Every structure is written in C-alpha cells, then in structure tokens.
Chains A and B, each alone.
Chain A
C-alpha cells in the first residue's frame, strides 16, 4: 500500500541501499588490492625459484584469499538477502530472477564448480583480463605470467559463485521464518520497519544467518580443495610431471572436503534447532 511508505521509510531504504553499495565498493577495492599483492608475492616466488617450490607459496596466499573472499562474499550476500526479502515484493521480476539463479547455483555440487573454473574461466581468460585490466608488473615478461592472472580470475569468480548463493538462500530462509504475526507484536507498539528488523527480526534470525554463513564457508573450504586440484592440474601440465606432490595435494584436497562436509552437517542441524518460534 502506498500510504505505508512514509518519508522515514524511504529515507531508510536509500540509506540501506547506499550502505550496500559502499560495502560493495570497499569490498571490491580490498579484494583487488589483496589479490594484486598476493599475486606479486607469489610471482616473486615463481621467478626466484623453480616451479615446485612456488607451489606452497601460492597455496597459502590462496588459503588467505579463501578466507577473505568468503567473508566479504558472505557479508554482501546477507545484505542482498535482506534487500530481496524485506524490500522487494515477491512478484518483483528482479527478485524472481535472482531467486531462480540462486536456486540453480546452490544446487550445483562443488565439483562442477572446479570444472567450470577450468572450462569456462580459463578459456575466456584473455577477455576477462581485457575487462579487468592486467595486474601484472612490467618487468615480468620472462615468467609465464598469463597463467597466474588467469588463475586469479578463475579463483575469484568461482568463489563468488559458490559462496554468495548459499548465503543469500539461507539468510532469506531465516528472514522468511519470522512471520508477519510475530513482527506485528513489535509493529503494534509503534516500531518502524528498521526498528523491527534490528530489535526483533535480527535477534531471532541471527543464529540461522550465522549457520548459513558457516555453510557457505564450508563450501569455500571445499572450493579450496578444488583450487588445489586446479593448481595441481595447472602446474603438472606446465612442468611436465610431478606425481609425488600431486598425491600430497590430492590428499590435502580430500581432507578439506571431509572437513567441509562435516561443517555443513553440524551447522545444518544447529541452525534448525536454534530458532525459537512461539507456539
């Protein structure tokens, strides 16, 4: 109803949107900087030493990347879910489109993401670099640079595709579970939409949102395992053969996969139990 949108509410909407965009911007710049820096560090390692020694350096910089990227992607995913669920009506075509895409992406097993990263992002690496600009230092002609930047884009995009949909879906579910009759308890006391979200909906939905974040994180762990797979594939094809190290990293990947599925299971059950709905 039109009369519902008071001036204060419109103002809140604008503030929320701008906060979202600022977060998005800051997140982008942060990611950009960190990625360039980690790339430079690993490239020095690549240039200073033969290939086998470079692998662990890349691995750790990428684990760091995993944590940072998933944290930012989760924050942005939560913001997205709040906007979709609380501000856009269910019939809105943007909301329906995003929800459809999210449903598809959450349904894809992580293994396919690895194949996707190899198949699509590697193939179109040149185009991606043209869009994003190359973070490669000028004096690095001698190094096989192209593959490093390619890896960076492949990782980044795979991560966002994996973590964001899970976060959006679980956060939306958590918000949806706080039904209108429950919210009315606060509305009848004269609380604004913002106050209801902050004082009532957030405390009730927080545990489930957190569980969703953990699920996304564990998906990211699984992704780390896959990225190790990609690395291994990449470097083994690059340098000929490296069967010993290949086995080492493969077992690491396996361990991370097990860890991730355990995390998913524990948080799925705790997420279900911690929301107390009134009878």
Chain B
C-alpha cells in the first residue's frame, strides 16, 4: 500500500531556534493519525509545512522533504491547488467577512464552481458534517463573523470540508466546542475516514485514544514514538516518556 504522505528528515528553524529536528514518518491512506505532545513540540509547524502556509513566516527555514502521493510538495507549481487538496482547521477560528453561506462556498468558488444547485448541496452537506446546520439553516445569509466562538470553529471545519480535500488536518478543532457536539463531529470524522486521510493534532489525549488508528508523540521538536494507538496507550509503549505523557505523569 502506497503512503499518502511521506516525511523524511524534516527540519524547521525559526531563525536560530529549532522547531522540528529531523523527523521522518509516513501517513497511510485513509487512516486517522493523531499527533499528541505538549506545547512547543512542533505539531502545528508540521501541519503548516504540509500545506505550505509556513511560507508566510519569513524567518522560518525548511529542510528535508514532504511528499504527497509521492510528489515533493515543493515541486508543485500551483501552491493554491496544493492547499485545496489539503483541508486545514486552525485552532483560532477566523470567520471570513462574508455570509455563512459564502464562507462555506468560498473554496468551491475559488476553485471555479459556479452552479447554484451544486453550491447549495455542498454548503448543506458540509454544515451538517460540522454539526452546525441545525443552528444556522434559517440564517445562512447573516455574517459568519457574528457567530459565537464555538460556532465559528465549526464553521471553519465546514469550510475545510467544502473543497473535498484528500487530507484533512485538524489543529485543536475542539477547544471551543462543547463535549456533546465534539462527539457528533468525532462520529463524522470516523465516517469521513473512508474518503480521506485525517491528521488530528490534539491536546486531548483521550480524543486521540477514541479516534486514531495510529498515534504519534512529539516532544520538543522530536518524534519520540509513532505506533498504533493500542500500543501507545498500552502499559508498555517503546518509550518511557510516551507512557508518562499519556498517563498524565507529566505534560
């Protein structure tokens, strides 16, 4: 089975400070890979490398290679096309200054889709998947920035799904969402697994345990351990630090 993403010897520096020190691992197609680890361990930086938004940080330098479907992402000429293939949910929910409908229809429209019926269908499907449809279906034309924090976060999830990405990266998607709604979204993620590969960065260790097929543990820019979730959460993972973090001894 060919790997969806291959990362080899990836190093990222912010100026003199090292954020990722030469990590290598593969992401299998149609798996949920959760990435856990304390703050400053390079989780978000990794996601930014994958969709090449790290390029907006001028002081960041990247070495090593990231391959998507066997193609090095640095050689992809149309970076916007690359970003459309990767759905990204950022931890800070930012509503575009557009209506709720236009927020979700933004990505399909930038990709060139203009048919009203198709857009309607996408908007309804994505908002339902993000567990937001019932709350906003009567006011799709109000401004997306007027929603509450948790609703905006679900709106960003709906936006990330709207361009039917091959890889969905979720960075702390549930920090502002209540537990019940989080469970609904987690169920959706499990069903979406058949269509796409999911990278889940989370501070909630239990969420990783519930959802992920495999789990990677990052610490201070190093990949300490990557294995099936059962092994990581068992009594004897390969590294003691993993056991300590997962069981709450530190972190």
Contacts and interface: CB of A to CB of B under 8 A. Distances in A.
Contact of A188 (B53, B77, B95): B53
Contacts of A181: 90, 92, 94
User: Considering the complex of A and B, which 7 residue pairs feature the smallest CB-CB distances, nearest first?
Assistant: A190-B84, A185-B94, A188-B88, A189-B107, A203-B97, A190-B83, A190-B80
A191 B79 contact: no
Given A199-B96, A200-B96, A189 B163 contact: yes
Given A187-B83, A189-B163, A278-B94, 5 more contacts: A183-B56, A188-B86, A191-B80, A276-B145, A278-B92
B110 A3 contact: no
A195 interface: yes
A189 B77 contact: no
B55 interface: yes
Q: Which has the most chain A C-beta neighbours within 10 Å: B74, B80, B152?
A: B80
B173 interface: no
B56 A190 contact: no
Nearest to A188: B88
B81 A184 contact: no
A195 B55 contact: no
B83 A189 contact: yes
A183 to B, nearest CB: 8
A248 interface: no
B119 to A, nearest CB: 14
A190 B162 CA distance: 11
Nearest to A203: B97
Main secondary structure of the interface of A (DSSP, over half): helix
A6 B79 contact: yes
A185 B96 contact: yes
Given A3-B74, A185-B90, A187-B53, A204 B110 contact: no
A182 B79 CA distance: 19
Interface string A140-157: 000000000000000000
Nearest to A185: B94
Contact of B53 (A184, A192, A200): A184
B176 to A, nearest CB: 11
A278 to B, nearest CB: 5
A84 B111 CA distance: 28
Interface string B35-74: 0000000000000000101011110000000000000001
**Which of the four size classes fits the interface of chain B?**
35 or more
Interface in B86-115: 86-88, 90, 92-98, 106-107, 110-111
A192 B58 CA distance: 18
A1 interface: yes
B112 to A, nearest CB: 11
Contacts of B95: 185, 278
B16 interface: no
A102 interface: no
A278 B93 contact: yes
A186 interface: yes
Contact of A182 (B77, B94, B106): B94
B197 interface: no
Contacts of A199: 96, 98, 106
Interface string A241-279: 000000000000000000000000000000000001011
A189 B165 CA distance: 10
A175 to B, nearest CB: 14
A276 B83 CA distance: 27
5 contacts: A4-B55, A7-B77, A184-B90, A191-B107, A199-B96
Contacts of B162: 189
A55 to B, nearest CB: 49
Given A199-B96, A278-B92, A186 B106 contact: yes
A138 interface: no
Interface in B210-238: none
A180 interface: yes
B134 to A, nearest CB: 24
Contacts of A189: 83-84, 106-107, 110, 159-160, 162-163
B192 to A, nearest CB: 18
Contacts of A8: 78, 80
A199 B111 CA distance: 14
A3 B79 contact: yes
Contacts of B58: 89
Contacts of B159: 189
Nearest to B152: A278
A64 B191 CA distance: 66
B78 to A, nearest CB: 6
A191 B110 contact: yes
A180 B106 contact: no
